[in-house]
């Protein structure tokens, strides 16, 4: 079955809706309404176009934002609430499963990385860039 331009645009509009509202309560019904499809048909089309389910896309979007916020040294509880999770327990378990580290550990790693970059900036600059910079002086 070939996708029409209109169908594709409606699915993209629903994805944009997810991007704009990922931090609040959002479900398949509210997303599929944006595309004017039944939730089952929308689910099939979205998965076909983006190669992941709407739920998986939403989860990845939330976790990506969580990584950004944790890197800014925000408290885990605040991050959990900001990205739309209702339970810090479910957020922590999912974060560890998907990212490989507990949120607090990830936050501490990013904090240490920033501190190390401030103390020893040359270790965070690619060697080829340093050589090029020195050669041009």
Same domain? 103 vs 131: yes
How many domains does the structure of the chain reveal? 2
Say yes or no: 74 and 137 in one domain.
yes
pLDDT per position as a tens digit, 90-130: 999 999 999 999 999 999 999 998 888 787 766 666 667 66
Query: 34 and 64: one domain?
Result: no
What is the Rg, in whole angstroms, of the alpha carbon atoms belonging to the chain?
20
pLDDT for res 117: 78
Q: Are 99 and 67 in contact (CB under 8 A)?
A: yes
Residue 132 is predicted with a pLDDT of 65
Say what the pLDDT of residue 121 is: 67
The pTM of this model reads: 0.80
State the pLDDT at residue 133. Answer: 62
Of 34, 14, 115, nearest to 71 by C-alpha is 115
pLDDT digit string, tens, across residues 18-50: 999 999 899 999 999 999 999 999 999 999 999
Q: What percent of the chain has pLDDT over 70?
A: 87
Residues 82 and 69: beta-carbon distance below 8 Å: yes
Q: What angle do CA 68, 13, 71 make, to 5 degrees?
A: 0
């Amino acid at each position: 079955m070939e996708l029409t331009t209109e169908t594709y645009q409606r699915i993209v509009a629903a994805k944009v809706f997810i991007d704009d509202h990922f931090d609040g309560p959002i479900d398949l019904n509210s997303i599929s309404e944006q595309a004017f499809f039944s939730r089952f048909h929308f689910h099939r089309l979205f998965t076909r176009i983006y190669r992941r389910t709407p739920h998986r896309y939403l989860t990845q979007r939330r976790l990506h934002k969580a990584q950004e916020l944790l890197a800014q040294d925000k408290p885990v509880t605040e991050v959990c609430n900001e990205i739309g999770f209702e339970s810090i327990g479910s957020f922590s378990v999912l974060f560890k499963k998907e990212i490989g580290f507990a949120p607090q550990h990830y936050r501490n790693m990013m904090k240490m990385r920033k501190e190390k970059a401030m103390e020893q900036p040359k270790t965070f600059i690619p060697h080829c860039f340093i050589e090029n910079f020195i050669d041009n002086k």
